[in-house]
Amino acid sequence: MSKIEKFNQLLNCLRGPALETVRAFQVTADNYTKALDRLKQRYDNPTLVFLDNISSLFALPTVAKSNGQQLRSLIDHASALYNSLRSLSTEPQICEAMLISIVMGKVDQETKRKWNESLDYTTLPSWEKCVGVVERHCQYLESDKKPPAEAPMSQPGGHRSHSQMHQTDYKTFRCPELINLALDNRLNAVKRHKLCINCLGRGQLVANCPSTRRCHSCALPHHSLLHRPSPGSAAAPLPLPQAEPVQVSDAVAHTHTESRSDCIILATALILVKESSGSYKIGRALLDSCSQVNFISEEFAQRLRLPRSKLNFEIRSIGETQTRIKHHATTNIKSRHNGFELLLDFCVTSHIAYHPESEIDISAWNFPQHSSLADESFNKSRRIDLLLGTETFFDILAVGQVKLG
């Protein structure tokens, strides 16, 4: 067979990128050798084959259960890869390449990219060269440290980023930008930067806050800068003789105080809670501004089939009563009346105690027309599925009350 015939046969066998590699060559006897050399240079690279075999060795599937066929397949593939590696290198070179693969699997993407750029793909990689590349990258990172920016940067919507909040040695409560914000914007800024709402520090939630300080106005676990005063109220709220529903984000929650001194109805709401399948179920939530964490009952969590994570957490309540929390779950809640929605973390507990002991007669109560209650059965004895704590309370509860006359 002549070289021209071999060239034509070669072109008929090639597909895709391999064909594009030699398509520019004219079909002549001299160009056949050149085209063949180009293909060998591109695809017959022993270093690339070696590295690919190392990657394939670490990507072998795991055999979870005893299965003869799967075990035999694993051994056959591993043996084939090992024999291929032995034909391309020595055992010390294989060991070094495996060590490099393990280490590069644990570094960040930038360091991995530096290592890949250092390979010339004409010689096998060595551990000594890998150490040298990482050491040089470490020296560059240590010499390229820059001081944190002092000037705040603007963000979309006209709000400025409080860059000083990111500095661990900065007293956030002295930040003039934070102090000058309106209350709602101040609270949004604290949440946007993931600060503790009690001490304004970084790195913990209010439930884990080590500070013993509380709000100077109401003594609740939030910072004084985040205190939301009740309209026309003094520092210490007094019980009202008439029932008062509170409008909450278009009926997100409400509260009533009955005229009798021995019966108080706390704020509850029927809300939509996202289950594991993505759909929503209605749950009854109790709003508690004194609770530092959110709770969900064991029964309701099982109905939602929420995935759980282990948690070793101790809850202390009045009288130093201690409750051990072993699991927590994360899910979304949203209003039944508008688009208000929050992603919350819940401690799973066996029971949430509050509910009215008996049905309360509200036939004489004068509700405003065209108003939607957050819990239409607030006066009836029903189980509580969730408890929303202080971290959520101020997001949900709107300022203003409607008095029932």
Predicted confidence (pLDDT) per residue in 333-377, tens digit: 988 877 788 888 888 988 886 555 567 777 777 777 666 777 777
pLDDT of residue 230: 54
346 by DSSP, 3-state: which? Answer: strand
Whether 166 has a pLDDT exceeding 60, the answer reads: no
Lowest mean pLDDT across 21-35, 269-283, 289-303, 379-393: 379-393
Q: Please, which pLDDT band fits residue 144 given cuts at 50, 70 and 90?
A: low
Average pLDDT over residues 75-83: 91
Amino acid at residue number 32 = Y
Q: Please, which pLDDT band fits residue 40 given cuts at 50, 70 and 90?
A: confident
pLDDT of residue 158: 42
Same domain, 271 and 310: yes
Residue 325 located in a structural domain? yes
Residue 194 exposed, middle or buried by CB count within 10 Å (0-12, 13-18, 19+): exposed
Residue 231 located in a structural domain? no
**Nearest residue to 393 via CA among 164, 227, 172:** 227
382 by DSSP, 3-state: which? Answer: coil
Residue 237 located in a structural domain? no
pLDDT of residue 370: 67
Q: How many helices and strands (H and E) does the chain possess?
A: 12, 8
Same domain, 284 and 371: yes
Residues in contact with 55: Cβ distance below 8 Å, sequence separation at least 6, in sequence order:
101
Same domain, 28 and 59: no
Instruction: Count Cα atoms within 13 angstroms, Cβ side, for 122.
Output: 2
pLDDT of residue 405: 52
**Nearest residue to 172 via CA among 132, 118, 128, 225:** 225
- Tell me what the pLDDT averaged over the chain comes to: 76
* Spatial contact of 243 and 398, defined as CB atoms under 8 Å apart: no
Compute how many other C-beta atoms are within 10 angstroms of the C-beta atom of residue 386.
25
How far, in Å, CA of 290 to CA of 288, rounded? Answer: 5
Same domain, 339 and 275: yes
Which pTM does this prediction carry? 0.37
Number of domains in the chain: 4
Q: Which domain-ending residue is among 100, 128, 143?
A: 143
Whether 258 has a pLDDT exceeding 70, the answer reads: no
Same domain, 280 and 187: no
Same domain, 13 and 52: no
- For the chain, the straight-line distance linking the first and the last C-alpha, in angstroms and rounded, comes to 107
How far, in Å, CA of 158 to CA of 365, rounded? Answer: 45
pLDDT in tens, 296-335: 999 899 989 888 888 877 777 766 677 788 888 999 998 8
Instruction: Provide the angle, in degrees to the nearest 10, between the axes of the packed helices 127-143 and 91-104.
Output: 30
Its domain, for residue 37, covers: 3-44
pLDDT in tens, 45-77: 788 888 888 988 888 888 888 888 889 999 999
Same domain, 370 and 286: yes
Whether 255 has a pLDDT exceeding 50, the answer reads: no
Residue 362 located in a structural domain? yes
Label the pairing between strands 280-287 and 294-297.
unpaired
Tokens 């002092």 -> residue: 150
Residue 163 located in a structural domain? no
Beta bridge partners of 154: 160
Same domain, 90 and 200: no
Residue 178 located in a structural domain? yes
Highest averaged pLDDT of the listed ranges 198-202, 236-240, 291-295:
291-295
Same domain, 92 and 133: yes
**Nearest residue to 193 via CA among 162, 215, 171, 156:** 162
Whether 253 has a pLDDT exceeding 50, the answer reads: no
Average pLDDT over residues 171-193: 72
pLDDT in tens, 187-236: 778 777 778 877 877 766 666 677 777 776 666 777 777 777 654 443 33
Sign of the C-alpha dihedral computed for residues 304, 309, 314 and 315 taken in this order: negative
Residues in contact with 397: Cβ distance below 8 Å, sequence separation at least 6, in sequence order:
246, 248, 249, 252, 253, 267, 287, 289
How far, in Å, CA of 251 to CA of 374, rounded? Answer: 4
Q: Please, which pLDDT band fits residue 131 given cuts at 50, 70 and 90?
A: very high
